[in-house]
Amino acid sequence: MVDILHRVAVRSASPDGVYAALTTLDGLAGWWTQDTTGDVAPGGVIRFRFETANGPDGFDMLVKEAVPGQRVLWEVVDGPAEWIGTHVGFDLAQSDGWTEVLFRHLGWAEPVEFMHHCSTKWAVFLMSLKELVETGAGRPAPRDVKIDNWN
């Protein structure tokens, strides 16, 4: 098993802004993809959709944990084959006016080329999350930063 790991920090003395961006439809639509629907409560499934060159694509995430100000964990229940059964987690911590975010996309079966792409793309989306909380505007799909010929 191989994992994608990232760390960003948001200039925010309270974790509430980051937590809201991870646990509300408006928040998620503000940094990952504008087409976000579903049930954000623990046990619910959130549907993230993207327009691609090959038509609509996306991920369905089962909310496994949502601990206010501390931790969010999803299990991928539908999406690309490589993603199904993997887990996506965000752990929050406070430090001197910052909200630190440790991001983990855990449990890839193999370090395929698509995983390399997703690693860079997660970094770009986490920078979008940071921008959203710091400035009020992120760069969600379809206005997301393009990293390669797979977008």
Catalog residues that contact a second copy under the rule CB under 8 A: 2-9, 95-96, 98, 100, 102-104, 111, 113, 115-117, 119-120, 123-124, 126-127, 130, 145, 147-150
Sheet hosting strand 35-38, strand order edge to edge: 2-11, 98-108, 87-95, 71-78, 55-67, 45-52, 35-38
The conformational region for residue 150 under phi > 0 = left, psi -120 to 50 = alpha, else beta, is alpha
Q: How far is the CB of 38 from a second copy (least distance, A)?
A: 27
Residue 48 CB, nearest distance to a second copy (Å)? Answer: 20
3-state helix, strand, coil in the chain (%, to 5): 25, 45, 35
Question: Is 33 within 8 Å of 50 (Cβ atoms)?
Answer: yes
Q: State the minimum distance, in angstroms, from the CB of residue 39 to a second copy.
A: 29
Considering the complex, what minimum distance in angstroms separates the CB of residue 63 from a second copy? 22
